[in-house]
Amino acid sequence: MRRFFLFFACLFLISSELWAMAKQPPVSSPSKEIPSVTPPPLTLEDCYELALKRSESVAIRKEKIEEAESQFYTAASEALGDVHFEMTDRRQDIQKGGGDGAVASSSNDPARRERKFVINQPLFQGFKALGALTGAGSLRKTEKEEWRRAQELLFLDVARAFYGLLQQGKELELVTEIHSLLIERVKDLEGRERIGRSRASEVATAKSRLRIIEAERASTRGLEAVARHVLEFLTGLDLEGRELAEEEVPGKEAGGITEYLTDLETRHDVEAARQSAKTAWRGVIVAQSGFWPEISIQHNQYERREGFQSNLDWDFLFKIDVPLFQGGEAFGGFKKAVSRWKQEKLTYSLVKREAELEIKESYQNWRASLEEVRFLEEAVRAALENFRLQREEYDHNLVGNLDVLQALESLHQTRRDANRVHYEMKENFWKLKVAAGEGGYGAKS
């Protein structure tokens, strides 16, 4: 009996411990926080690669190449001829009264079947097939050059948006810095006003300049948002909170203009215009074929034939078609083709001259922006030193508050001009490269 009691007592204690452990909340192991990975800054090349994948205009140009290739196969069919397999099953009414002879009875048969291979091969078409083939080839080259040119123009759009966003971001920093300096200036003037060392008009003037800078900061924020939206449109990427990596342009000094004019003929739009002129000339060759006779053969190889010709396995037709009079259709087509060819030649000449002008303009803009950047950097240092001296002289009552504010405004404007020209210089560099047909970041791939 005692052992029985001890057994139940131990069982009760164990159950109580288990119940208490079950009521306690589970001890969770400390969770490891996953550190947030900051995406690397986007470079101009990164943005361009994203824009290439997203751009509909570049994709449309690429499909134009496929369309030109389809015309090549169509032109090839004119020269290679064609092969068909024809099956016919003819049914007709029974002739009333019958007919005499085996031929009549065979042709009047109400059911007649035939199976044959038909081979058509043109032998001579007045160089029509040759002109069509070579014209399709030059058309494909034209579309390919236009596609590459579209890539280069897209790169310029991306560069313009990329540097525009960087410029507005730096502009906002400059305006914010000037805003902080003006706030300090207003506080200093208010303190001087309380002890009678400054006039109330000086405080009012500083506050007016402060409000103007605040309005300018609000405008700059809006321009920065617009620039970000433009780059987002081109890249298809949300740039909120993303940083852009500002890289130095590959070259700091501009060489001679002759080295940029050397590859003028290889520029993609110039080459495309040249190929378009070649395509138009091939059109003249095709149009001339309307004056030439056409020679062709047709061969039928019968696999099944019924009737009185059932024992004939093949036949052969040699055909010469000589145009004698077409009512002016061939001559009109020829004149139209010649006119189109002359237009394309003039277009090629115009495109080449415009490309040369664009290279010269881009070169001069690039050289001017290099010098302007150098002078404005020196002007910023001079304006900063002037503001420091004006502020020290004001503390010694040598100049007035208006002189200090003018020095500060001059510093702000000089910094803004230097910032603007700095990014214009970078954009002008890529404009020169694209104008010279050198592309940018694989635009010629």
How many angstroms separate the most distant Cα atoms in the chain?
Answer: 139
42: phi then psi, degrees, rounded to nearest 5: -85, 130
pLDDT for res 227: 93
Q: Are 245 and 172 within 8 A, CB to CB? A: no
Tokens matching residue 117: 């291979």
Q: Looking at this protein, which amino acid is placed at residue 434?
A: V
Sketch the domain layout of the chain as residue ranges: 44-83+125-294+345-435
H-only helix segments in 396-438: 401-435
91: phi then psi, degrees, rounded to nearest 5: -125, 135
Query: Looking at per-residue confidence, does 127 or 87 come out higher?
Result: 87
Edge-to-edge, what's the strand order for the sheet holding 294-305? Answer: 82-91, 111-124, 294-305, 314-321
* Strand pairing report for 294-305 and 111-124: antiparallel
- Return the H-helix or E-strand segment holding 46: helix 44-54
Q: How far apart are CA 197 and CA 388, in angstroms?
A: 20
pLDDT at 267 over 70: yes
**Confidence band (pLDDT; 50, 70, 90) for 158?**
very high
Query: Looking at per-residue confidence, does 109 or 335 come out higher?
Result: 335
Predicted confidence (pLDDT) per residue in 284-320, tens digit = 888 888 787 887 888 888 888 777 777 888 888 888 8
Q: Are 434 and 444 within 8 A, CB to CB? A: no
Q: How far apart are CA 91 and CA 111, in angstroms?
A: 5
Neighbours of 149 (CB within 10 A): 22
pLDDT at 7 over 50: no
| Percent above pLDDT 70 for the chain | 81
Neighbours of 169 (CB within 10 A): 17
CA nearest neighbour of 408 among 191, 195, 183, 251:
183
Q: Which fold has domain 44-83+125-294+345-435?
A: Outer membrane efflux proteins (OEP) (1.20.1600)
pLDDT for res 6: 46
In Å, how far from its chain's centre is CA 264?
Answer: 22
Tokens matching residue 181: 């300096």
- Return the H-helix or E-strand segment holding 366: helix 329-395
pLDDT at 160 over 90: yes
Q: How far apart are CA 437 and CA 264, in angstroms?
A: 7
* DSSP summary character for residue 441: S
Q: How far apart are CA 369 and CA 428, in angstroms?
A: 8
Q: How far apart are CA 388 and CA 395, in angstroms?
A: 11
Q: How far apart are CA 83 and CA 301, in angstroms?
A: 11
Helices (H) and strands (E) in the chain, counts: 10, 4
- The C-alpha angle 118, 121, 124, rounded to 5 degrees, equals 155
Tokens matching residue 289: 């074929």
Tokens matching residue 258: 């002759």
pLDDT for res 397: 78
**Confidence band (pLDDT; 50, 70, 90) for 325?**
confident
CA nearest neighbour of 210 among 397, 418, 416, 409:
409
For 30-63, letters b (16+ CB in 10 Å) and e give eeeeeeeeeeeebebbbbbebbbeebeebeebbe
Q: Are 167 and 421 within 8 A, CB to CB? A: no
pLDDT for res 314: 84
pLDDT, the chain, mean: 81
Predicted confidence (pLDDT) per residue in 396-422, tens digit = 878 887 888 888 889 999 999 999 999
The upper half-sphere exposure of residue 151, i.e. CA atoms within 13 Å in the direction of its Cβ, equals 24
Q: 3-class DSSP state for residue 241? A: coil
